[in-house]
Amino acid sequence: MNKHAKTALLAALVSSALTTGTAMAGDHKVGVWGEDQSVSNGVVSARKVVAEENGWLVVHRTDEAMKPGPVVGYAPLRAGKNMDVAALLTEDVASGDMLMLMLHSEDGGMKTGIFEYTLGAKEDGPIRKDGKLVMSTITAK
């Protein structure tokens, strides 16, 4: 493939990603991937988290209504692809509890590197793409 064909292909891919609303960080779509898991060790893990900027993986309680509830754990994230992200639980979670693993920003707080979000606040708040929260829901085993 010649230089002009490579440039045209790259431009088409970037244009496609921009027009379809696909959010990319490096070569990966922004998102949170998690699975049902045991929390008996006091940790909740996301298999993969892709973020456009440094931020937080935040663990919220939730239920069938799928609204984010109180925060029960969090872990820092780097911009780009983060694998096997472990968030320490800050309170007890029972088998059968539903948890929402959500991408939060590092914006708006008073201190960088300190998680400052409280439910409903703007500091270190949830990230939305196309108006939807970037998250995955799991059930504790």
pLDDT band at 126 (very low <50, low <70, confident <90, very high): very high
Its pTM stands at 0.79
Mean pLDDT to the nearest integer, 54-82: 97
Domain ranges of the chain: 25-139
The single-letter code of the amino acid at 96 is: G
pLDDT confidence band for 5 (50 / 70 / 90): very low
Output the six-digit token pair for 43.
């940790």
The helix/strand/coil state of 95 is coil
Q: Where are the beta strands (DSSP E) in the chain?
A: 24-25, 28-29, 31-33, 43-51, 55-62, 71-77, 80-89, 98-105, 128-129, 132-133, 135-139
Residues 57 and 102: beta-carbon distance below 8 Å: yes
Q: From 31, 61, 62, select the one nearest 46 (Cα to Cα).
A: 31
Q: What is the pLDDT of residue 9?
A: 37
Distance CA 89, CA 105 (A): 19
At 10-67, the pLDDT tens digits run 434 333 333 333 345 555 799 999 999 999 999 999 999 999 999 999 999 999 999 9
